Structure 1
């Protein structure tokens, strides 16, 4: 039954995306705040529909970031994007280049100033990322970047990439580490959505005065520790899952 409910939820989620795209886009073409309003409206709708259709409630913890800063976020599935964008006022993302051509999502990503990078070309990706973020004509707001570079399943190991450190040192902005447990309920590559309480937690901000080595160590410790705690709260043992994954890889 939960699988059927998940399928219906997924279908209506994309239907709602299309309807809201048609409603907001004629104004958003000329007025960027309408694009932000469309994103918030859709994300809040998905949170609301997830709660009653599949039993997946959601919660934001910590102080919601405002103004021009960096959000370094744990990324486990599409749902953590939904939660973040439902509350921050002016999101823009460091995104994989493939998103640019995605129907509806790609247009809105371009409209709010997302920066697209080729993850397969690491050196050029960092150069393109810094150039896109520092473009004086780019919209200002909350720059969301995933330090691990992609979605990471709950309990999986993946190293933190230096791109976030390059942005931090170049921009000289405050960074808000952000933890989540959404992958426990909304796996990155599965149709089934599980009931429970999905959380995104904005942690204490880091000022712009750390060295890149200090910064990288600090965000990884804070994000992983807080995410593990959130997953444990949901009944998932992340350290044990990582240990099992390392054992399987060794074999």
Structure 2
């Protein structure tokens, strides 16, 4: 535990210092050389790859991504489970130059927010609730028209593994308005880098792009299909990882949820 806590502290130092320096560089570039977005994007890719490197070699978190063949050519929406900052790092190498949807508070940070907006990040003001959806939808439509894949976390925030799902309506509004496929993503990252956790645990964090949901469904059917696919696959992946053994301590709550999944799997066998 102590050794892993030290490794985690070293990672956080590298992560925050590295992010701070690159936010200054890219943020200033967005103001001083706004037409050099390709150079800024290369720096963003470097930042992403460096964080995966730090995670692998400092704290022992490996990265495994599968199902990329399910990402269609051209514009689409990618709706991902969200358990950790790792989720962004894992998806980014496989989705071209995407447009992430992020909370407005992040984009209001000087320099970092400038850099994020320059890299096509879409702002959503969660304080406005459903009133924020029209502006978010307009920005997302513009990103799709520019050939971007729009990435949204439908629950709006990071959630612990096997926590009760809490999907919001934003992705449903986007699906109905955009007429493009939605690619669900299941993942297990919260088992290794938990929400607000000071200690990161070694292991292989996994993400899986699932079969796309094609346009044309009603909002209700789409929502049920999206949630069912993401939750079923995420639960199966978390159970697989738990069966193989986890380095992290398992809380009573997580143990109870894993045991419930085991019982459900046994009943279906």
TM-score after normalising by structure 2: 0.82
Q: What is the count of residue pairs matched by the alignment?
A: 244
Matched, 1:46 2:26: no
Q: How does 1:164-203 map to 2 (within 5 A)?
A: 164-203=171-210
Q: Secondary structure at the match of 1:170?
A: helix
Name the structure 1 match of 2:96: 89
Shift in CA distance, 92/239, structure 1 to aligned 2, threshold 3 Å: farther
Shift in CA distance, 194/137, structure 1 to aligned 2, threshold 3 Å: closer
Matched, 1:61 2:82: no
List alignment gaps of at least 5 residues for structure 2.
261-269
Matches of 2:143 and 2:229, distance apart in 1: 31
Question: Deviation at 1:20?
Answer: 3.7
TM-score after normalising by structure 1: 0.87
Matched, 1:241 2:257: yes
Identify the structure with the greater helix proportion: 2
Query: CA RMSD for the aligned pairs?
Result: 2.5
Instruction: Please tell me whether the aligned partners of residues 39 and 86 of structure 1 are also in contact (alpha carbons under 8 angstroms).
Output: no
Q: Which has the larger displacement, 129-138 or 77-86?
A: 129-138
Name the structure 1 match of 2:232: 225
Question: Deviation at 1:22?
Answer: 5.5
- Larger-gyration structure (1/2): 2
List alignment gaps of at least 5 residues for structure 1.
245-251
Regions of 4+ moved over 4 Å: 21-25, 136-139, 236-239
Q: 2:5 aligns with which of 3, 9, 12?
A: 3
Instruction: Please tell me whether the aligned partners of residues 71 and 144 of structure 1 are also in contact (alpha carbons under 8 angstroms).
Output: yes
Deviations, residues 133-182 of structure 1 (Å, cap 9, x unaligned)? 23489743110111112111112113211210110110001110011100
Q: Secondary structure at the match of 1:8?
A: helix
Deviations, residues 86-135 of structure 1 (Å, cap 9, x unaligned)? 33211212211101123543222201222211212222111221122234
Matched, 1:110 2:112: no
